Structures are given as C-alpha cells and as structure tokens.
Chain A
Amino acid sequence: MLTEAEAWQVLRTVPDPEIPVISVCELGIVRAIRATDDALTVVVTPTYSGCPATEVIAASIRTALGEAGAATVSVETQLSPAWTTDWIEADAAARLRAYGIVPPNRTAETAVQTIRLVPRAIACPRCDSRKTTRLAAFGSTACKALWRCEDCMEPFEEFKPL
C-alpha cells in the first residue's frame, strides 16, 4: 500500500489532460490525500464547474495510483474553498509560458473587472512584444482566452485569473 507521501509523488507525474506540461498537483487541484490501511482517498477540487476534463482527471488519478500499487483509490470532490489560479505553482507558471500559454496574473490584481472593449495588453510568450490583441474571451477551454501577437503574428493563449 502507498503512503500519503508516495501518493503525492505519483500524482506529481499525472499531467493535466488539457495542459500536459503541468501536473494536477502543480495546477493546485489536489487538495488532500488520506491513506488508511487498505484505501487511498484523493480530494480534488474542480477548476471550472463545467470543465470537461474533470472526469478525465479523476480517472487518470485512479489509474496512476493503481499502477503504483494502491489497491483501492477513491476520488472525492471538494468545492470549498473554490479553486483559484493563485494555487498554480510558480515553477509551473514558467513552463506554461514556455508552452505558449501566458500564466495568470494574481487574482488580487484583477479583482475589479470592468466591462470594456479593449483589455489590458499582455506580453507575447514567444517574443515578449506587448503589441498583442485579444481575439476572444474564451479559448479552447473556459480557463483560457485567445490572443494574437502583432509582431511575430503567432496566436497564443492566456490562462485567465480566476
């Protein structure tokens, strides 16, 4: 049977299905692991209410821990406190950028959201130019917005602060 510490190590190798360069632990959604003599319970908090990756993540966690030797694994959902992008680990943020996704600002800096046509420019993750345009408020998933760099002309995504 796996210890809690061993289980954490295993989960650090389970990638987020939508953003495979970071693990579910680095994403900040694994809130707790409880080990008893014959079972492991992993407490996970969802990112967005409608995130279609939630069920894949639970299945990946069960599979990874099962392959590492855990006999019985259950995945529990915990809503409170609500997930925030502030829980994404700092190392992971750098890897997100290298992957072409601008990591989220701290939520405290974006707490006041106004309705406006031109959002604040963010730097292109490839060439660092600030001549960028937001194309859409939602990207391939709810957690991201779609941008384009006007200098290198490459599209990129922004992980929105939540």
Chain B
Amino acid sequence: MTPHLEYLLRIGDSTLILGQRLSEWCGHAPVLEEDIALANVALDLIGQSRLVLTHASTIEGAGRDEDQLAFLRTEGQFRNVTLVELPNGDFGRTVLRSFLFSTFLRELWTGLAASADSGLAAIAAKSVKESRYHVQHAGEWVIRLGDGTDESHARMQRAVDDLWPYTAELFAPTPVDDMVHAAGVGVKWTELRSAWDATVLPVLEEATLKAPEGSAFVSRGKLGMHSEHMGHLLTEMQYLQRTYPGATW
C-alpha cells in the first residue's frame, strides 16, 4: 500500500467507524432531539467517509469501490484510530469521544484544505464546515454534563480517564505522515496537537474535568492493530455484504 493510500484510509476509516458507532444511538438517545442530532452527525461522518474512500479507491486503482473498501476488508486492513472503535458507553461518554475526535478532525480538515491532492483538498474544505458544528454540539454537552450534577460529573470524569489515553494515538508520528507531508499531500498529525489542545483543554476546564497525566500507552489502530471491540463492530457493520456479497438496493 502506498503512503498516500494508507493516509487516506486512516481518515476514511476513522470517520466511517465513528459514524457507525454514533448510528448505534439511533432510536436510543436520552431525548428525541439528541437522537436526531447524533444521527445527523453520523450521517455527516459517513458522508465524509464515502468521499474519502471513493477518492482512495481512485488512488488505489484496483477496482475496489467505496462499498468494497467499507464492507469487504478485514479487521487488520482497517486504518482507523482505536479511539473511534471503542464502545459508546453512556451518552456522556459518547459526546466526549465525539468532542475529542471532532476537534482533531476539524484541525485535520483545516490543514488538508491546502493539500496538493486536489481531490482531498476539496473534501477537506467541505468537511471542515461540518466538523465545526460537530465540535460545537459535543463541546456544549461536555460542559453541561461535566459541570452538571454530581452523578453526571462523576460519569464524565470516568469517561475522560478512560478515553484520554487513546488520544495519544491521534498525534503519534508515523513514517506515513512524513512521506505524505514531504509530497505536499498531507499534514503531519503530530503537528495538530497544539491546535487541538487550544480547544479541548479550556472546554475540559470549564466542564470542571481533569485530563489524566500522560502515560506511555499508545494505541495502534491506525497501523491496523485494533482493540477487541473492532471485530464485533465489523461483524455488525459488514453483516449484509458478507451474507449477500454484492447486494445492492
């Protein structure tokens, strides 16, 4: 796989898998308005993923379209970050994860809008506008729940403690980043950290939540090494295409 394709899959797969996770809330959210909101955010993410995977399939040139990339690859061939494949947990944990990842995505799209890959630049310029609304929506909930009741605060702090270690992967340097950056195609994810901190840290503070101390743990989903949750997620997401290969409607 070329670094260019690898890089596109990291983005296309991360948006796809978070879209899949958020879709699980459809019909289950605490209130109707948030049910609709999460489904709308999921639609945006899956829409962004479709654009990126379609572009990736063109770059790959192997005749695999977006659906084949999404539904017929196995766990080890997915390049999403581990953070997005973790189970939703409760509503608070879900919006916290959304906030952490959407903020990252907003900075990534901002950087990629200047990519030498014009197809990717067009997707990025469009998607960044959607990500801004996702950050705003999730960020508001993080503040409301973190600085809320004793129960909501305690749950949000546990969610921060559990999810925070997985954010290290977002910024972990890889040779793929260096190569796409040298080609003018991509931005190095490690360089997005300061912009991400500038949004995330003040919101956590306003939410009266504390980020845990850094640890040596770095998840490796973007390298194709996933958590135990990924296989189960794919089992559900890919069921139809696995059972009826090539089915369309």
Q: Tell me the A residues contacting B by CB distance below 8 Å.
A: 46, 48-52, 79-84, 113, 115-117, 135-142, 146, 160, 162
Closest Cβ of chain A to B202, distance in Å, is 8
Give B40-59 as 1s and 0s: 1 = Cβ < 8 Å from A's Cβ atoms.
11111111101100000000
5 closest A-B pairs (Cβ-Cβ)? A49-B47, A50-B47, A50-B43, A136-B33, A80-B122
| B130 A142 Cβ-Cβ under 8 A | yes
Query: A79-B51, A137-B133, A142-B44 are contacts. A49–B36 as well, Cβ < 8 Å?
Result: no
Interface size class on chain B is 35 or more
* A50-B48, A115-B203 known; A82 vs B40 contact (CB < 8 Å): no
Contact with A along B185-211 (1 / 0, CB 8 A): 000000000000001000100000000
> Do B126 and A83 touch (CB < 8 A)?
yes
Across the interface, do B126 and A138 meet the contact criterion of CB distance under 8 Å? Answer: no
Residues of A within 8 A of B199 (CB): 115
Give 11 new A-B contacts, CB below 8 A, not counting A82-B125, A82-B129.
A48-B44, A48-B130, A49-B48, A50-B40, A51-B47, A79-B125, A81-B125, A115-B140, A137-B136, A138-B40, A146-B33
Taking CB as reference atom, which chain B residue is nearest A137? Answer: B137
Given contacts A49-B127, A79-B51, contact A115 B45 (CB under 8 A): no
Task: Assess the B126–A49 pair: CB atoms within 8 A.
Answer: yes
Interface of B is mostly: helix
Residue contacts A-B, CB under 8 angstroms, 23 given: A49-B50, A50-B46, A50-B130, A79-B125, A80-B118, A80-B121, A80-B122, A80-B126, A82-B122, A113-B132, A115-B136, A115-B139, A115-B143, A117-B144, A135-B33, A136-B36, A137-B136, A138-B33, A138-B137, A141-B40, A142-B133, A146-B33, A160-B133
Give the chain A neighbours of B203 by CB distance below 8 A: 115
Q: Which residue of A lies closest to B135 (CB)?
A: A115
Task: With both chains docked as a complex, state the minimum distance between the C-beta of A71 and any C-beta of chain B, in angstroms.
Answer: 26
Instruction: Tell me the smallest distance from the CB of A142 to a CB of chain B, in Å.
Output: 4
Is the CB–CB distance between B34 and A136 below 8 Å?
yes
Q: B139 and A140: CB pair below 8 A? A: no
Known: A115-B143, A135-B33. A49 touches B125 (CB 8 A): no
Specify which of B44, B129, B144 is in contact with A50 (CB 8 Å cutoff): B44
Chain B residues in 8 Å Cβ range of A160: 133
Q: Could you say which of B36, B44, B126 contacts A139, with CB atoms under 8 Å apart?
A: B36
A48, A113, A162: which has the most chain B beta carbons within 10 Å? Answer: A48
For residue A135, which residue of chain B has the nearest CB?
B33
B55 CB to closest chain A CB (Å) equals 10
- A116 & B140 in contact (Cβ 8 Å cutoff): yes
Residues of A within 8 A of B45 (CB): 50
